Structure 1
Amino acid sequence: MPADFASPAPRINAIATAVPDCDVHERYTEWAASQLDDERKAKLFRRMESRGGISHRYSVLTGGDAAMDFGSFYKRGDEPGTRARMERYAAHAPDLAMQAIAGLPSTEGITHIVIASCTGFLAPGLDQIIARRLGLSTGVERVSIGFMGCYAGVTLLRTAAHIVRSDPWARALAVSVELCSLHLQQSDNIESLLAMGQFADGAAAVIVSAQGEGLGLGKGLSLALEESDELITWTIGDSGFVMHLSGEVPGKLAEALDDASVCNAIMGDDPPVAWAVHPGGRSVLDAVERGLSLDPAALSASRSVLDTFGNMSSATVLFVLEKLAPDKPETGIALAFGPGLAMEGLRFGWVTGDA
């Protein structure tokens, strides 16, 4: 059993992911570029967007809405209000969550549900909706984690692990679902358009228990950088949730990770074999690689997820773990970044049924 793991260690027994059918990446690029009246700026935007390390992003929007045609959800001059966006969230988030859950081998014996989502609100919440659709006991214990942003995927796993540590017979279903495409904003600012051009929709579901083999979940790590609270913000406005992602984030992140105390806290006594780093953008992954002096291949799983799916907020780190799990890594660490600027981490490593 890896160091820093309780016995019996909480572990991910199964993990499954899902994305909607509609790939909107190329159409977004044209929609965003059309908002820049200066053709030189539009060309610059397209060039920078093409270097972002993303080939595909998926959205629950379909048909003309996904194409961003006139009269669609994002028609020019008439942005959808927060209510309209939340109606779409309520209509699509449960279905996408259930699509991910359907990929799990079994949901029998679930005692707890933990939900993470920062792109929408509804009540009764996703926790109750999912429990009802799965036919779970009305007494199943439920926890909802909201509005934490991209690092909530790590918090989701830590919460499920804490539940299992407190009750070794617990079987927790942890689900992240994010519909980032519901919060696009009209803008003539290249930095804002590039930031929005990273985000996509996706869901992930995991089973966490203290039985069987799987990715053991160990010690957590939290860090909030001083004087960085304006670098990443997520504000509820009249036209949805407005993301601000400063271009200073990669530099600040690399500087923080280069600090000896931070680096030692992440690396521990032995450097992890596997890295599940939230792909918050190509520049963020480059900053982590540079700040921690990692081999370029160390973040290959994260770069692959970014290329194939984009940044799905809290669900994304779970997509990375799904790619790493088949290799049964002996040791690893998951890292994710979000509003603050803050970082959440969690050690993991393969454990057998008797660990």
Structure 2
Amino acid sequence: MSPSTDTQNAKSNQFGDLNLSIIGLGTEYPPYLLDPQCLNTLVARHYPSSPALNKILTINQYTGIDTRSAIGSVDHPLANMDRAPTIAELSSIFLKDGVALAVTAARKALHEAQLSPLDITHVVSTTCTNSANPGFDHYVCKQLGMTQPVEKVLLHGIGCSGGLACLRTAANLALGSSFRGKKARVLVIALEISSLLVRSELDSANELQETRIGITLFSDCASSLVLSNNVGGEEAQPVYDLLGWDHRIIPDTEIDLGFDVDPLGWKVVLSPRVPKLAAAVVAPTFSDLLSTLPNLPPNYKEAEDFDWALHPGGATILSGVEKAMNITPEHMRASYDTYINHGNSSSATVISVMDRLRQKDMDELAPGGKVKDFIVGCAFGPGIAVEMCMLKRNMNHVRRTLVTTGDVTPPESDGNRSDGEVEDLEAEVKDLKAQGEELGEKLSEVHPEVPEQNDSLSEALNGVELD
């Protein structure tokens, strides 16, 4: 008796042994850290007091972010002109300081992969904070010294989902090479410079009295990884094996989340529906992804059986997914750590979280002290797009660190925290989980006579958490 059509379709939708491995990762944050007071400083320098700006500054104190990484301090010249910088001025800085970050992140990933830039066969990149032609990836490859023919893909219009969208695209390119019996070593690069958009966003808040609070969340970062199809030649040990992925769009949500080009940069577009929409789609996406991976061990069935590398768009995203999936902050420890210490760097953040998760001090915070072999990666972007993947961590991997000491970044730590530092992070995560309640109380104190303003502020905070 022949198999039914449903059985055949189910089998065709399953992932087999893809033989795809992430063999190197690199993250590069710039050296400056902006604490919440920095935004207050800029507003006081350049804008009169107004209800919208006061709301933004109030919310800025309760995002749960201690510091946001940036390419310059609060005194950066482009943030302190008598006007907001033009898109041309922003692009010039991006192609100088941003590309430098991306080159260093790529070098870190290549170093760990034990590869030369000349070994790379494909490059898949993304940004939502630049629109140059040729794209920034052209200049990164040039500075890396890639003279060989390289297939390049630059993804645009995908915001915070970009890191995992690049990984998915890289995987499909690598599988195409495998089908042809050819080697694929794919360099993935995500780069975002968000900090210098602050004046444009503050102009809109001041002139239109809009509560624009993306400027309280976003930061700068470059991240990179190398994906191998393990065809031909000696290979570095995998950091993660890539087992499968899922991509989908939540219908009729185009107006809810976006990042629109403007003569003075880019403008965040968000609606109050975003956190609920995102949290609601995680469970069915996770369930569908599991159904395509029948060879997982039997003890990996529920969300709590896995570690999670979730893009930390904001506090309500982290807490919303926790509640929806019945997991704990410890499952998403690297997401919390990244959010608290660096903020949201859009597409570059999720690769940074994947890099952070495999470091030793994060192991100490694992649920019940037990690190999971399998990891769910997840990010959301405009559309609303949902990207999810399944990774298997190589517990025996020894991290190879390229320490940089130039102007781009300070030297890296060895990934080990003292006992006191681990306790500090645990305390910070607990504090972050309480941010929603605390913010509501503070807003009631600030505007007790206008309850509808409190509702508006809560909606504004909830609606800005993803991109």
Report the TM-score range of the alignment, normalised by the length of the smaller protein. Answer: 0.7 to 0.9
Change over 3 Å in CA distance of 1:295–1:62 after alignment to 2: closer
For the 8 Å contact 1:17–1:202, the answer to whether it is kept is yes
- The answer as to 2:203 corresponding to 1:180 is no
Rg larger in 1 or in 2?
A: 2
Q: SS in structure 2 opposite 1:167?
A: helix
2:267 alignment counterpart: 242
- The answer as to 2:258 corresponding to 1:233 is yes
| Candidates 223, 230, 243, aligned match of 1:218 | 243
For the 8 Å contact 2:87–2:264, the answer to whether it is kept is yes
For the 8 Å contact 1:199–1:313, the answer to whether it is kept is yes
- The answer as to 2:98 corresponding to 1:90 is no
For the 8 Å contact 1:28–1:197, the answer to whether it is kept is no
**What code does the residue aligned with 2:312 have?**
P
In the TM superposition, what is the alpha-carbon distance from 1:63 to its structure 2 partner? 6.9
Change over 3 Å in CA distance of 1:313–1:41 after alignment to 2: closer
For the 8 Å contact 2:79–2:196, the answer to whether it is kept is no
Q: SS in structure 1 opposite 2:254?
A: coil
2:383 alignment counterpart: 340
1:279 alignment counterpart: 312
Q: Output the CA distance in 1 between the equivalents of 2:333 and 2:128.
A: 26
Change over 3 Å in CA distance of 1:36–1:230 after alignment to 2: farther
2:134 alignment counterpart: 124
Q: SS in structure 2 opposite 1:343?
A: strand
2:167 alignment counterpart: 157
Change over 3 Å in CA distance of 1:110–1:300 after alignment to 2: same
1:319 alignment counterpart: 352
**What code does the residue aligned with 1:202 have?**
C
1:103 alignment counterpart: 108
For the 8 Å contact 1:12–1:214, the answer to whether it is kept is yes
Q: SS in structure 1 opposite 2:174?
A: helix
1:64 alignment counterpart: 75
For the 8 Å contact 1:213–1:352, the answer to whether it is kept is no
Q: SS in structure 2 opposite 1:207?
A: strand
User: What is the TM-score normalised by the length of structure 1?
Assistant: 0.87
For the 8 Å contact 1:215–1:325, the answer to whether it is kept is no
User: What is the TM-score normalised by the length of structure 2?
Assistant: 0.67
Between the two structures, name the one with larger relative contact order (CA 8 Å, sep ≥ 6).
1
| Candidates 204, 207, 217, aligned match of 1:198 | 217
For the 8 Å contact 1:114–1:172, the answer to whether it is kept is yes
Q: SS in structure 2 opposite 1:150?
A: helix
Q: SS in structure 1 opposite 2:25?
A: strand
Q: CA RMSD in A?
A: 2.7
2:416 alignment counterpart: none
**Matched residues, percent identical?**
23
Q: Output the CA distance in 2 between the equivalents of 1:226 and 1:126.
A: 31
1:68 alignment counterpart: none
**What code does the residue aligned with 2:318 have?**
L
Q: From the two aligned structures, give the one with the greater strand fraction.
A: 1
- The answer as to 2:131 corresponding to 1:142 is no
Gaps of 5+ in 2: 1-12, 231-236, 295-300, 364-370, 397-467
Instruction: Decide which moves more: 312-321 or 128-137.
Output: 128-137
**What code does the residue aligned with 2:61 have?**
S
For the 8 Å contact 1:334–1:347, the answer to whether it is kept is yes
Q: From the two aligned structures, give the one with the greater helix fraction.
A: 2
In the TM superposition, what is the alpha-carbon distance from 1:248 to its structure 2 partner? 2.8
| Candidates 385, 393, 412, aligned match of 1:350 | 393
In the TM superposition, what is the alpha-carbon distance from 1:126 to its structure 2 partner? 2.5
Q: SS in structure 2 opposite 1:156?
A: helix
2:450 alignment counterpart: none
For the 8 Å contact 2:245–2:289, the answer to whether it is kept is no
| Candidates 166, 185, 190, aligned match of 1:171 | 185
Q: Output the CA distance in 1 between the equivalents of 2:324 and 2:289.
A: 11
In the TM superposition, what is the alpha-carbon distance from 1:218 to its structure 2 partner? 2.3
Change over 3 Å in CA distance of 1:195–1:128 after alignment to 2: closer
- Number of corresponding residues: 341
**What code does the residue aligned with 1:346 have?**
C
2:415 alignment counterpart: none
**What code does the residue aligned with 1:107 have?**
L
Q: What is the CA deviation profile of residues 6-56 of structure 1, one whole-angstrom value per residue up to 9, with x for unaligned ones?
A: 4352111010101111112335431465447247972x5444323212111
Change over 3 Å in CA distance of 1:256–1:6 after alignment to 2: closer
